[in-house]
Amino acid sequence: SEFIAKSCDLAGLPDITILSEKDIEGALKKVALKESNIIVVPEGATDIDILCDKLSKNHNREVRKLILGHMQRGGAPSARDRILASKYAKECIEKIEIMLK
């Protein structure tokens, strides 16, 4: 999600974050400045296969992708996860109560 990509960016993990198609040209220029890059792209921001092809062809480098998918949802829930789940449950119950009236 875009939230995860922005969070990674704030934490200083990626070299480049692409949030939409308009960020691609700038990213292609930045890639040339370093030997290797970590690029974070949220789901739906662009076609990852096309982006990988562009990076590979424009910079004559090996490009590997990792799609997190459900792996990002793994692990024990944090306190933040539990609080968010409680808020969702409360909201859901309130909506059901309104529908039953």
pTM over 0.85? The answer is: no
Q: Report the domain count for the chain.
A: 1
Q: Is residue 21 part of a domain?
A: yes
Q: Is residue 101 part of a domain?
A: no
Query: What is the residue range of 67's domain?
Result: 2-74
Q: How confident is the model at residue 94 (pLDDT cuts 50, 70, 90)?
A: very high
- Helices marked H in 12-76: 24-31, 48-59
Q: Is residue 58 part of a domain?
A: yes
Q: Is residue 35 part of a domain?
A: yes
Q: Which long-range contacts (CB under 8 A, 24 or more apart) does 44-48 make?
A: 45/2, 45/5, 45/18, 45/19, 45/20, 45/21, 46/18, 46/20, 46/21
pLDDT for 11 equals 67
Q: Is residue 26 part of a domain?
A: yes
Q: Is residue 88 part of a domain?
A: no
Of 31, 93, 19, 96, give the one whose Cα is nearest residue 57: 31
Mean pLDDT across 33-50: 83
